[in-house]
Amino acid sequence: MTQVAAIIGGGVIGGGWAARFLLMGWDVRVFDPDPEAQRKIGEVIDNARRSLPGLSDVALPPEGTLQFHDTISDAVADATWIQESVPERLELKRKVFQTVQSHCAHDAVIGSSTSGFKPSQLQGCATRPDQIIVTHPFNPVYLLPLVELVGTSQNPDAFLDRAKAVLTGLGMYPLQVRAEIDAHIADRFLEAVWREALWLIKDGIATTQEIDDAIRYGFGLRWAQMGLFETYRIAGGEAGMRHFIEQFGPALAWPWTKLMDVPELTEDLIAQIAGQSDAQSGQYSIRDLERARDDNLVTILRGLKAQNWGAGALLNRHDAAVEGAIVLPDDLSHPIVTVKRAIPLDWTDYNGHMNEARYLQAFGDATDRMMILVGCDADYIAAGQSYFTAETHIRHLGEAKAGAVIRITTQVLQGQGKKMHLFHQMFAGDQLIATGEHMMIHVSLQTRRACLPSTSLAQTLGRIAAAHAALPRPAGVGKAVGVKG
């Protein structure tokens, strides 16, 4: 039977919860008095449908049903999980809980998205305080896995375990906070950074963009994959966390920040931190941690490159500056070098060499380069015409490992009318390791049907094809998959 979640409050966070539950197969019931709630939540869910499935390499469960209700009582009537995401006013939240508990099942989980209130404050006027916990997510809820789960002595262990199991089933990471505290764990970090940032702006030290750049080009990338203490463990080198604290701990007494109320680094505190760090990461050598960090950072940065955002945009600009303008070579008597690059870490597979899908990507990059060289660039495509791939054949002749520099040369076998027939050869050093044969068809992006290219493009492509016609026909052209005897 499909489980039912009730969402009370459909703002940014409530809408994100609705999307997370819905796309994980739950039926979702929403109450929000905002007359625009259906439109706003619908737009959030559309964003989730576009992005969340991309996190999984397996199909998500069938999407649940979404209903909007005019009353809290109708929304929570058959719900096993109720998520409150109303504005951060304690009296409002308590009033909502009283209404919810008057109409919901006695064993339903009532989670609050509050970023600041402690669960004991929320339970204060409750009919059944054992039913209410903090489940504080981070925006966007449908993508970020962290949920801070905070209970009190009023909440039975079995109840908290059930809540953790539900959140885990949603693909989230429930971090159970050991003791309730204002703003839980993560928001206390955010508040510290936020307050220091406000001082930097007020004192004329930095602008909002400069502060964001300091985070997204630097420590924010490290934090994203190792957090704070594992990052600092690496900074301590082979001597570990204790050495890092002993070396940099005294700086906490220096006037580097407006937030000067810090604990004294006693021997007991240093031993506690060093011991916890050993338990967390001591099974790895410093070199292991460095390699894991490097692999993770390459993956993150390459993902940002694909989106041309933040540090990824910086890398793309650097690539363009190093490469220079893309121009057709004067000498067309040889195949054209269309790709020259190193194999990145995230292109390799469990066999230690380049994944077969990346061969296609590399050859696709070569095809894209040839399209630009003949005149099918971004402006040409924006004007409504392009080339589509009709057929591809790849032969794997050798291996390419991470760090190896590959070179792809491209020969135009046909370049008349609507067709562009390309043959790519991939080399590692002087060794031929793969070939890719591609038949491209020129199309109208309006009709999605084949059409003739512009006169200028046709002339350029024809000139290259005529020059390449004098070259030997490469081995492997026209080959099909077959079994050698």
Dist. CA 361–CA 113, nearest whole Å: 42
Binding residues for NAD(+): 9-14
Report DSSP state, residue 183: T
Would you say 166 and 192 are in contact if contact means Cβ atoms under 8 Å apart?
no
Report the alpha-carbon angle 94-98-104, nearest 5.
130
| Among 115, 81, 91, 107, residue whose Cα is nearest residue 8 | 81
Query: Using CA atoms in the order 241, 247, 250, 256, what is the torsion angle rounded to 10 degrees?
Result: -90
Which pair of structure tokens corresponds to residue 288?
């292991």
What is the sign, positive or negative, of the torsion defined by CA atoms of 203, 205, 208, 213?
A: negative
Cβ-count burial of 68 within 10 angstroms (0-12 exposed, 13-18 middle, 19+ buried)? Answer: middle
Dist. CA 469–CA 477, nearest whole Å: 14
Would you say 80 and 163 are in contact if contact means Cβ atoms under 8 Å apart?
no
3-state secondary structure of 390: strand
Would you say 183 and 114 are in contact if contact means Cβ atoms under 8 Å apart?
no
What is the sign, positive or negative, of the torsion defined by CA atoms of 81, 87, 90, 92?
A: negative
| Among 14, 182, 179, 7, residue whose Cα is nearest residue 90 | 182
Binding residues: 9-14
Which pair of structure tokens corresponds to residue 188?
């206390």
Q: Which long-range contacts (CB under 8 A, 24 or more apart) does 296-300 make?
A: 296/225, 296/226, 297/221, 297/222, 297/225, 298/344, 298/345, 298/346, 299/345, 299/346, 300/221, 300/224, 300/225
The dihedrals phi and psi of 443, each to the nearest 5 degrees, come to -135, 160
